[in-house]
Structures are given as C-alpha cells and as structure tokens.
Amino acid sequence: MPQRTKRRPLTLRDVSEASGVSEMTVSRVLRNRGDVSAATREKVLTAAKTLGYVPNKIAGGLASQHVNLVAVVIPSLANLVFPDVLSGISAELDDTPLQPVIGVTNYSLSREESVLYDMLSWRPSGVILAGLEHNRSSRAMLEAASVPVVEIMDIDGDVIDTAVGISHLEAGRQMAAEILGAGYRRIGFIGTHMPEDHRAKKRLAGLEEALQHAGVPLVAREFYQGGSSLAKGRELTERILAREPDLDFLYYSNDMIGAGGLLWCREQGFDIPGKLGLAGFNGVDLLEGLPMRLATTDARRVDIGRRAARIVAGKEPRPEQGKLSLAPHFMPGDTIRK
C-alpha cells in the first residue's frame, strides 16, 4: 500500500461546490437553521455525506484546529477483549498530551457512522477504531480526515490509512494445523452469527481452508446471535454434540463460549482431551480460573492497543505498506492432545 496522501480538511466551500448552493445555505442546513427547502436540504446533506464532510465544532480561533483527544471507537465495553486493548492505548498515551475518548458502536455500522460523525466534529488528533469493515459514509469521513487513522484488530482487507492487528485468516489456519497435528479429524465450529463478526468469519474461513487442504471436512457448525456468555457456550455445546455425537474437536469463536462449553463437557464426563478436544480464541484472563486451561490463541490485544497509540502519538512511524502485522500465538493449555 502506498503512503497515504495527507488531505486538507474539507470546508463549506467544498460542500457548496458539490451541491451547487451557496456556502451560507450549506451552513444553514448543517446547523439545522434557516428557511431551506426540503429539496435543497437533501441536496446539501447528500453532498456532505458523499464527501465525508464533518462540521468543525471546536473554536474557530484555535490555531491547530485539533484538540488533544484521540477518538477510540470499539464495538463493545462488555466484551472482555476490548478493555485490554484500551489499557494498551492508555498506557502509550499516558506520557503524551493526548487523551483517549471512547465511542461504542454495539457492532452496528450505522451506529459507527453516527459515533464517528460526532467524534470527528470535535477534530481529534487521531482516530483508532476496531475493524476494517465500515459503511460508505464512515469510510468517506475517515478518508477525508486530516489526522492519523488506525484500524485495529485485523489486517485482512483494505486499509484506509494504517492497520495494526493480526491476520484472522492465519489464526484459523494455525488452529487447523494444531488440531490436525494432535490427531483430531471430526471437527465442529461454534461461533457468532457471521454477518455481525467479520473477524470470526475470517478465522472460520482460514480454518476451513486448511482443513480442506488436508482432506478433512468441517463436520458441523453452530451459530448464535447476541452477546457471548458461559451459558451460551454450554447451550451450544450440548446442541452440537446432540446432533453430531461423534465429533472429536470443538473450535469456539471466542474464549467465553469456549469456557462454557468446557464446563458443560466436564459435567457430562467427557474425556478431555483424549476423546474430545476444545479450543477458543483471544487468550483472556478468564481462562486462569477454569479447572482445565482451555487451548486458545493469544490475539495480542494489549500489543495492538500499544502499537496503534504509538503511531497516532508519533512515537512510531506509520508502517511502509500501511499494515503492521502481529503474529497470533497458539496457547495449547490442557484441552488439546499433546
């Protein structure tokens, strides 16, 4: 990926030229003031959205036209993954003038658009946001931003400016190699509803690709919607094994449901890892309190937060190709045959 060209901030004049109306009318529309016809209002709003224009809410006399805030946009605060990412960001910004301010999207692209619009209107000094998948309006705003934009957690896809994360395709391939290397052949997958979790979708694709290359099909899949929980893991594990009792390995899209599945399997007397192997993803601290250590993949959450913050703060140069790839690390635990 070539070096991103630093763009000048968009102005009312840009929206005026794109919509074919005066700057004064554009200002009235964007401030929701004045007597403007519905047709003109729609024309202005469409032009602004297409350009990625965001009004500037900070004082006009501020010389830098930016504030010492870093917009951090994440899907959830309830998910155990993101507090670790935030701790990495906070640690790296601690000795700088920059302060992180958090926006939560609830895994909704339309909500992400709204959060970005509000946060960018305050002209932060940088943006850190989870994932590479955004709707057209969000992408336009991010491409028009004249500050560093760092997409985190994932590198498998097109990057706006800079991406810091792991390859989830590679994480899936790595897990397949570990499963096959341990001698398991009847494998099932339990995970979130794919349209809502792009990174889990990529891990599943990597897993299936590696299994197919070895001539081993993925026997069963079980998907769920909503948040992850121990109860959800127990429920889905019981369901998939009732349908496919001969499975000898279950790969979960995250550690929370994997932990629930592990607890249920132990209660049912399964021989783990002899007859049934289990693995999750993320390497969260929750696993330390289980009666057996669930096999998992360390997704480098704190490191990702730190490296993203370093790039935004100017402590570290933007990677030459726009992507900073960290290697996922397999952690065998006690639930996969040695």
Q: Can you tell me the mean pLDDT for 312-333?
A: 94
- Please indicate, yes or no, whether residues 158 and 180 belong to a single structural domain of this protein: no
Do the domain assignments include residue 10? yes
pLDDT band at 61 (very low <50, low <70, confident <90, very high): very low
Per the structure, the count of domains in the chain is 3
pLDDT band at 205 (very low <50, low <70, confident <90, very high): very high
Which pLDDT value is given to residue 6? 61
Per mean pLDDT, which range of 37-41, 69-73, 86-90 is the poorest? 37-41
User: SS3 of 74, please?
Assistant: strand
- Please indicate, yes or no, whether residues 265 and 218 belong to a single structural domain of this protein: yes
Query: Between these two residues, 40 and 211, which has the higher pLDDT value?
Result: 211
User: What would the pLDDT profile of 248-271 be if each residue is shown by its tens digit?
Assistant: 999 999 999 999 999 999 999 999
- Please indicate, yes or no, whether residues 181 and 282 belong to a single structural domain of this protein: yes
- Please indicate, yes or no, whether residues 193 and 243 belong to a single structural domain of this protein: yes
Which pLDDT value is given to residue 2? 53
Do the domain assignments include residue 335? no
Q: Which of 158, 167, 151, 155 is nearest to 312 (CA)?
A: 151
Query: Between these two residues, 78 and 293, which has the higher pLDDT value?
Result: 293
Q: Can you tell me the mean pLDDT for 200-220?
A: 96
Q: Are 309 and 86 in contact (CB under 8 A)?
A: no
Find the helix or strand (DSSP H, E) in which 23 lies: helix 23-30
Place of tokens 């990625």: 52
Q: Can you tell me the mean pLDDT for 6-26?
A: 80
Find the helix or strand (DSSP H, E) in which 241 lies: helix 230-243
Residue 29: give the domain boundaries.
1-53
- Please indicate, yes or no, whether residues 67 and 162 belong to a single structural domain of this protein: yes
> For residue 97, is the peptide bond before it cis, meaning its omega torsion is within 30 degrees of 0?
no
Q: Can you tell me the mean pLDDT for 183-192?
A: 96
Q: How far apart are CA 255 and CA 220, in angstroms?
A: 19
Share the mean pLDDT of the chain.
Answer: 91
pLDDT over 50 at 284, yes or no: yes
Place of tokens 């002899």: 274
pLDDT over 90 at 173, yes or no: yes
- Please indicate, yes or no, whether residues 46 and 105 belong to a single structural domain of this protein: no
